[in-house]
Structure 1
């Protein structure tokens, strides 16, 4: 099947336009930066949580605390048990761990309610990282007795142990 001259010219015209657009965007477009714009506010420094000593977040709905069970330590690729205590009547809706320093995926954490209605227990684990130290976020979604769902997070750090 032969292509007519008119059809060949149409194809060449479209290819020329696409090529010009590619060259323009590659060499003349605005530089793409991973850094935030200069007028944006810097991220606030977050206090690190030491789960072995226990951590508390103060909220208008009440205090939220997290603590390792006795004998546990947070190490990469090693399960650890974590107890979470919520304010009276609050319900834990979801929990997950994500990398704070770099994307390491989203690790769901399944907390089970204990007999004390305000306490939850979970076994969690974080992955190994190539850096000596790695910061992680334990992100929580909590439904207080009154009001809208609130999001809170504990930031913790681990050291590579091997």
Structure 2
């Protein structure tokens, strides 16, 4: 049975919960706005598939990074050579890996050379190999993290391998 004291207790608890909800919402608003501003300023993932018949370009806040494959094609179970280049100065590849997007086949690490200046552009090269997938088509992502003046920049290159 709902007595007068129980009703008062329920109203007090409801008021307390509503007050805490409003206080937490107001307190978190600057953090949420700051995170949204940072995500707007971060590199946008371009949903463009690279076919590597010509260099694939990723535009970051620091500038454009161009990735090319020697021979213009990636064939499973064969070594392929990658070249990452940019007019941006003072950058180095800190990590790189290939990840299956349509099917998880592990993370394939790639070691890139130290970036060197060649004809006004900085260039770094790497070498890798992909396994054969059971699917006829496999979507992959090459995820490269470069450091530009000590700041990490994520570069994403999506590509499709067809048997």
Tell me the TM-score range normalised by the shorter chain.
0.5 to 0.7
* 2:102 matched residue in structure 1: 101
| Of 131, 145, 157, the match for 2:160 | 157
CA shift for structure 1 position 52: 2.5
**Cα distance change on mapping 1:150 and 1:115 into 2, 3 Å:** closer
1:46 paired to 2:37:
no
* 1:83 matched residue in structure 2: 83
Q: CA deviation digits over 1:101-150, x for unaligned, max 9?
A: 1110000001113642611111111111011111111001111126x312
Unaligned runs of 5+ in 2: 1-44
Q: d(CA) in 1 for partners of 2:78 and 2:72?
A: 10
Question: CA-atom RMSD, angstroms?
Answer: 1.9
CA shift for structure 1 position 68: 1.2
Query: TM-score w.r.t. structure 2 length?
Result: 0.64
**Cα distance change on mapping 1:45 and 1:59 into 2, 3 Å:** closer
* 1:37 matched residue in structure 2: none
Would you tell me which structure has more strand in proportion to its own residues?
2
Unaligned runs of 5+ in 1: 1-43
Query: Could you list the runs of 4 or more consecutive aligned residues of structure 1 that deviate by over 3 angstroms after TM superposition?
Result: none
Query: TM-score w.r.t. structure 1 length?
Result: 0.65
Q: CA deviation digits over 1:1-38, x for unaligned, max 9?
A: xxxxxxxxxxxxxxxxxxxxxxxxxxxxxxxxxxxxxx
1:124 paired to 2:128:
yes
Q: Is the 8 A contact 1:72 1:81 kept in 2?
A: no
Pairs aligned (count): 115
